[in-house]
Structure 1
Amino acid sequence: MSALAYYSFGSFAWLSLQAVPLAIWPTFIISLLTPDYQHANQIEQYFARSLGVSELTIGLLLVVLTGALPLTSLTDTPAEVVSPYQNAVVLISMFYHATSTFYDYARYNGTGQLGYLLGAIGSGAFAAFALWVMMFADSRGHISRRTGADKRTSGFPFKNAEADKRLKGKSL
């Protein structure tokens, strides 16, 4: 499995871990978040269930649109088919996890509740993993058969001093 598939399924699991209790037991979750126990009204239950279903939908879209879950049989699809939406979906999910991290951390600083800190740590880990996938885990590299190096390297964000030494005396 590729790093993109690990990210997709891991993010789906994280979102499902948050979504299932919201969708099934909204009154229990709301009672955990209020300082004084109050029974949740109908609007709070609706919004909690809606958030749970939305998080499940985001997780499923992430898995399907990145190509981690093939929608056709494996015999019908060539081995190197890459979803055209994978970079966009990973970018959007990275922004979702990052904003969730900032929100949870701000709420943790305001309330001191451990649940917000755990949410910030989990979402922050997936935001960092998504950034890593965007930068380094592209499976469409062009590997040289002679040297084994990736032909698409540009030197950003790291400088290739060895290649610069070899090209210094040659004119293009």
Structure 2
Amino acid sequence: MLYQLPLLLPVAFLFTSTISAFSGNFELTNITVSSLSQFNPDSVEGSYVELDFADQDTPEIEPVHCCVQWSANASPPTTWPGSSDNDTFAVLVSPWAGVQALTLDLQHSYIDNSVGEYPYNVLTKFANLSLEYPSTQYYDCDMSEAKCQSSSAITAIVTSSTA
């Protein structure tokens, strides 16, 4: 088994470097989720999720505004739409059970030369955030209007990453 050690060291180094590069989570603020057609099936207004998205690993980037929209009485998009003002951030709503129960799939890609040279320096982090009313702290809903908002920052724990 010792003869495999030279082959494993570069892999272990890359894995360790990548893990240390992904130390921060995502912070979401100003979350608003609205679906008037959930409250009134005759409504022609579409549904949306909008928020400001920040990555603790890239504090030099101001929070990025993101918005996912879809037609009344339809489901959210199933592909990563151009949902953010900065294309390195993306939001997908999946699954959607209404403003009171949804999951946000979040991703952020950025360059970190501390983990290596191109293409190994392109890092992408992923997180899922479940928003459940009334159990999610700081996620407040007015079900009479089918609208929810965050009253403070909500942290999405990064669960995976690629380099």
Q: TM-score range by the shorter chain?
A: under 0.3
Q: Judging by fraction of residues, say which structure has more helix.
A: 1
Q: Which has the higher contact order (CA 8 A, sep 6+)?
A: 2
TM-score (norm 2): 0.23
TM-score (norm 1): 0.22
Q: Judging by fraction of residues, say which structure has more strand.
A: 2
